[in-house]
Amino acid sequence: MTINETTSRKFGIEFEALGLTVNAAAEVLRNQNIPLQVVGYSNTSANQQGQWKVCRDGSIPTGFEAATPPSTSFNHVMIACAALTGSGAYVTRSCGTHVHVDAHDIDLNALKRLCKIWIRIEESMEELVSRSRRGHSSYCHSNRFQFSSAAVAFADIDLAVNRTVLCRKMQNSRYVKLNLETLRKHGTIEFRMHQGTLNADKIERWTRLCIRIVNLAVTDQFDLTNSTRLNLLPMLKEIFKVRNWSVVTGGSEMINASAASAPTFMPRAGTKRRALWELFDANHYMTRKDAAALAELEGFKRKYATDQHWHWRRARSFNTETTSAMTAQVHTDNVCEMRDSISYFSERAQDLAS
């Protein structure tokens, strides 16, 4: 990953974590030359120019929340994540990672398109996050549950005469996956779906995804007005273009994509997941039940083995671009997870379009 790579829109990230007090977390960031201010609980003021905010969060009273200023670079994000993790910060299911995307150029029509896109893809987006953040999770309620169906949602969204009305239709509080209330306060769209994490790679991929969704709404690349049955496949392929994630890093084992019996990518060498995938690959005609039983004999937990076998089958079936560059492409564990999800999204889009 290129440390100075930038995005097409400004973004802001709110980290929630445990293991450090507010003052201790602030000190860790200051030691990394990250400018910041410590603010009181429920402070909603905009960040001072170029400064982070560190404060207490109501959902984790013994932990802290750190919020970046508007930026197009992940430089400080990666530095902060490494420093906080090294100092003992950690996350639980009580934590969340919220992404704000600049939306100063989004008018009412673009905002309606964004809401329609979200209603269509929210359920599929949940496959990218932990189970604790799906459905009506705490502090992260579903927008689609505001409506009885997608058709009703589209009709109600079309009837909104201004942003305030549209916001009321999409949510009854700010604790929703797609929060529009921040438009009035900060000129941003807030994505609250992602679980807490201090993994900088994961944060960058999720942030870029959120930005792409907003860009799709603003550029009006898809006709959302004349059909309640939208063909999602082109849109999801656009959002999940692997080559645009910029998460390929060096140092991992080279994978030969042309190997007949192996997936075109595998987890990092030396990891438990890699050993398990190699076991599956040596017995690639086995059912999930038989593969899980075999893995259990080899010392792996059955539930973990069953989950990994599902990912392994998705990895084998994913139809990659057949280019010579693929034979020398390096993949990390995180890319494997994302590509597993792409296979799911393609199937999900075809289901919804049928």
- Going by C-beta distance under 8 Å and a sequence separation of 6 or more, which residues neighbour residue 137? none
**How much is the mean pLDDT over the chain?**
76
And the tokens for 49?
A: 């120019």
Q: Which residue has the higher pLDDT, 106 or 131?
A: 106
Q: Which residue has the higher pLDDT, 142 or 277?
A: 142
**β 71-73/6-17 pair status:** antiparallel
Tell me which residue has tokens 């076991």: 279
Given this model, what pLDDT does residue 183 score? 93
Whole-angstrom distance, CA of residue 204 vs CA of residue 3: 11
Given this model, what pLDDT does residue 274 score? 82
Whole-angstrom distance, CA of residue 142 vs CA of residue 171: 8
Overall average pLDDT of the 91-118 stretch: 92
Cα R_g (the chain), whole angstroms: 21
What is the per-residue pLDDT across 33-77, written as a single tens digit (0 to 9) for each?
999 999 876 555 556 678 999 998 878 888 999 999 999 988 899
Overall average pLDDT of the 95-113 stretch: 94
**Residue 350 pLDDT level (bands cut at 50, 70, 90):** low
Whole-angstrom distance, CA of residue 193 vs CA of residue 126: 8
Q: Which residue has the higher pLDDT, 319 or 44?
A: 44
Overall average pLDDT of the 244-256 stretch: 29
Residue 222 has pLDDT above 60, yes or no: no
What is the per-residue pLDDT across 147-185, written as a single tens digit (0 to 9) for each?
988 889 999 999 999 999 999 999 999 999 999 999 998
Q: Which residue has the higher pLDDT, 239 or 286?
A: 286
Q: What is the largest CA-CA distance in the chain?
A: 62
**Residue 260 pLDDT level (bands cut at 50, 70, 90):** very low
Given this model, what pLDDT does residue 171 score? 93
**Residue 251 pLDDT level (bands cut at 50, 70, 90):** very low
Residue 210 has pLDDT above 50, yes or no: yes
Residue 242 has pLDDT above 60, yes or no: no
Overall average pLDDT of the 96-120 stretch: 92
The three-class DSSP label of residue 291 is: helix
Whole-angstrom distance, CA of residue 154 vs CA of residue 330: 42
> What percentage of the chain reaches a pLDDT higher than 90?
33
Q: Which of 296, 253, 248, 247 is nearest to 271 (CA)?
A: 253
Whole-angstrom distance, CA of residue 295 vs CA of residue 291: 6
Whole-angstrom distance, CA of residue 353 vs CA of residue 106: 27
Q: Which of 22, 16, 17, 36 is nearest to 76 (CA)?
A: 36
Given this model, what pLDDT does residue 221 score? 63
Inter-residue contact 73 to 13 (CB < 8 Å): no
Given this model, what pLDDT does residue 31 score? 96
Given this model, what pLDDT does residue 219 score? 83
**Residue 332 pLDDT level (bands cut at 50, 70, 90):** very low
Residue 323 has pLDDT above 90, yes or no: no
Structural domains in the chain, sorted by start: 1-232 (3.30.590)
**Residue 304 pLDDT level (bands cut at 50, 70, 90):** confident
